[in-house]
Amino acid sequence: MASIAAGLPSREGEFQHRAAWKAGVMGALNLLAVVLAVRLVLLVAVIGALWLAKLALDVPVAMQMPALVMLGVYCATVVIPMVWLSSRK
């Protein structure tokens, strides 16, 4: 009976193994959440640029140039820096 009990891992060792496994899984999930959050923000910025482009092309010709300028400012100050920041990782 003692030889069978000697082959089994101790409770403390099992708890340490479970804690290490849980920490590893939580770390992987945390990294996944960070990456997906960055991608989601980038997706929203690009969708906003596409929406502004559609609005800029749908306005009357007299207002089209200021609308295109606003689109350019949005792309230069939001979309391009977001793409640059997401490509750095």
DSSP 1: -
- Residue 18 CA to residue 27 CA, distance in Å, equals 14
- Residue 77 CA to residue 52 CA, distance in Å, equals 14
Assess whether pLDDT exceeds 50 at residue 1: no
Q: Is 8 helix (H, G, I), strand (E, B) or coil?
A: coil
What is the rounded average pLDDT for all residues in the chain? 85
Tell me the per-residue pLDDT of 44-86, one tens digit each, with 9 for 90 and over.
999 999 998 898 889 898 888 999 899 999 999 998 998 888 8
Q: Average pLDDT of 10-35? A: 89
Q: Average pLDDT of 15-28? A: 90
Q: Average pLDDT of 7-21? A: 81
